């Protein structure tokens, strides 16, 4: 049964990834697959067979959303079509329509998943009470660099690397639900940053009368602009420097007496590349037939 709002297989309990028929179970022959040719075979059928030849079977919605995420980040909302997604997966655009009736429905599903993953990562950093505020800045810098490197594998360049940032640039093309999702995600990010600032005050990293609201606003404003800054600077170095000088200035202005200067280690490019290779292998396993999406951008 299809979800009436998203036009895809009905999701499971809240918090779980949307479920649908596994691709092998859904492909019961050319006359049973939506948009597939009739008996006799064609390129579309052969591609589908090749895509499902490896075991265990992978839910087709997982493959579609993984490819769509890549393409939305690279090309923007208006630059993605079902034909392009189908080409990457070796299926027809009708197969994509079977699970997502409209591009807005697919983009909504992708945005919700990415927002959830982003918040899991960033809230884990900012609300961790074992690290200092400066250490949290370094961890956020490293997380951002890992994401940046995925689309700028040489560690330089200004290609977009985050879905939230990319979609924010095209807000007029998004549905009200998508815009609301982005705003809600940014509010939760700001809430987690506030926790980090309050923790720093409690731990006496910052003086007792530190303006929590103002410091939270300053840090949040920097975090909202990470994607735009790397794009305009065609590299990561200016974002790296901005994060370093932001925490240095905050500690200079509001740090407790006698606090040592901020320690700011350089980005570990080798470690980030190793993590990227592992991530690419994991993503590529979702889509063995893809010709381009899950490779490092030249």
Domains of the chain: 23-101 (no CATH), 111-279 (1.10.357.10)
Question: Cβ contacts of residue 95 below 8 Å, gap of 6+?
Answer: 33, 34, 35, 36, 48, 60, 86, 89
Evaluate whether 264 touches 138 at the Cβ level (below 8 Å): yes
pTM above threshold 0.75: no
The rounded distance, in Å, linking the Cα atoms of 251 and 262 is 8
Q: 224: which 2 tokens?
A: 């909202």
How far is the C-alpha of 153 from the C-alpha of 92, rounded, in Å? Answer: 30
pLDDT tens, N- to C-terminus, the chain (298 residues)? 444 344 444 444 444 434 333 333 333 333 333 443 333 333 333 343 344 444 345 689 999 999 999 999 999 999 999 999 999 999 999 999 999 999 999 999 999 999 999 999 999 999 999 999 999 999 999 999 999 999 999 889 999 999 999 999 999 999 999 999 999 999 999 999 999 999 999 999 999 999 999 999 999 999 999 999 999 999 999 999 999 999 999 999 999 865 556 778 888 878 887 877 786 776 665 555 444 444 444 4
Beta bridge partners of 206: 255
What pLDDT is stored for residue 263 in this prediction?
A: 79
DSSP string, the chain: -B-TTTSSBPP-STTSPP---BHHHH-S-TTTSTT---TT--HHHHHHHHHT-SSS--BHHHHHHHHHHHHHHHH-GGG--HHHHHHHHTS-HHHHHHH-SSHHHHHHHHHHHHHHHHHHHHHHHHT-SSS-HHHHHHHHHHHHHHHHHHHSTTSB------HHHHHHTTGGGS-HHHHHHHHHHHHHHHHHHHHHHHHHHHTTSB-TT--HHHHHHHHHHHHHTHHHHHHHHTBSHHHHHHHHHHHHHHHHHHBPTTPPPPP-PPP-HHHHHHHHHHHHHHHHHH-TT-SSTTS---
């Amino acid at each position: 049964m299809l979800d009436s709002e998203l036009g895809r297989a009905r999701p499971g309990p809240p918090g779980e990834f949307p479920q649908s028929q596994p691709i092998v179970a859904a492909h019961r022959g050319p006359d049973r697959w939506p948009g597939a040719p009739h008996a006799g075979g064609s390129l579309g059928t052969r591609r589908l067979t090749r895509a499902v030849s490896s075991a265990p079977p992978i839910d087709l919605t997982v493959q579609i959303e993984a490819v769509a995420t890549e393409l939305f980040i690279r090309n923007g909302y208006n630059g993605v079509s079902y034909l392009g997604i189908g080409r990457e997966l070796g299926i027809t655009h009708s197969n994509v329509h079977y699970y997502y009736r409209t591009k807005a429905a697919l983009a909504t599903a992708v945005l919700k998943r990415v927002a959830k993953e982003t918040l899991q990562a960033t809230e884990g950093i900012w609300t961790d009470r074992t690290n200092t505020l400066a250490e949290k800045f370094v961890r956020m810098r490293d997380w951002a660099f890992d994401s940046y490197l995925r689309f700028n594998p040489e560690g330089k360049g200004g290609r977009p690397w985050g879905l939230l940032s990319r979609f924010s640039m095209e807000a007029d093309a998004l549905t009200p639900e998508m815009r609301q999702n982005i705003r809600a995600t940014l509010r939760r990010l700001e809430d987690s940053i506030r926790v980090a600032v309050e923790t720093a005050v409690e731990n006496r990293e910052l003086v007792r009368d530190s303006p929590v609201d103002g410091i939270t606003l300053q840090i949040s404003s920097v975090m909202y602009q990470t994607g735009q800054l790397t794009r305009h600077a065609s590299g990561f170095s200016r974002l790296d420097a901005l994060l370093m000088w932001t925490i240095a200035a905050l500690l200079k202005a509001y740090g407790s007496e006698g606090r040592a200067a901020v320690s700011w280690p350089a980005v570990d490019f080798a470690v980030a590349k190793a993590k990227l290779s592992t991530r690419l292998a994991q993503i590529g396993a979702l889509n063995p037939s893809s010709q381009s999406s899950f490779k490092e951008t030249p």
